[in-house]
Amino acid sequence: MRDRLSWNVALILVVLVQVVCSMFFIADILIGIFGIEREPLSWEFRELIEIGAAIGLALGIVFGAMMLARILRRNRSMEDQLRRASGAFAALLDQRFTEWGLTRSERDVAWFTIKGMTIAEIAKLRETSEGTVKAQSNAIYRKSGVAGRTQLLSLFLEDLLTAPPPQPPLPVKRAAK
Question: In the predicted model, is pLDDT for residue 38 greater than 90?
Answer: no
Give the least confident one: 2-6, 17-21, 142-146. Answer: 2-6
Q: Which of 147, 97, 137, 146 is nearest to 113 (CA)?
A: 137
Backbone angles phi, psi at 118, to 5 degrees: -80, 170
Whether domain 101-167 has CATH 1.10.10.10: yes
Q: What is the pLDDT of residues 20-37, one digit of tens each?
A: 878 888 888 888 888 888
Q: How many CA atoms lie within 13 A of 167 on its CB side?
A: 3
What's the chain's average pLDDT?
84
39 phi-psi bin (left φ>0, alpha ψ -120 to 50, beta other): beta
How sure is the predictor about 113, in pLDDT bands with cuts at 50, 70 and 90? Answer: very high
Q: Phi and psi (nearest 5°) for 111?
A: -55, -50
Domains in the chain: boundaries: 1-83, 101-167
Q: What is the pLDDT of residues 123-162, one digit of tens each?
A: 999 999 999 999 999 999 999 999 999 999 888 777 767 6
CB-based contacts of 123, cutoff 8 Å, min separation 6: 129, 130, 132, 133
Looking at residue 29, the DSSP 8-state letter turns out to be: H
Bigger pLDDT: 168 or 15?
15
pLDDT band at 167 (very low <50, low <70, confident <90, very high): low
pLDDT number for residue 174: 54
Give the pLDDT band of residue 163 (cuts 50, 70, 90): low
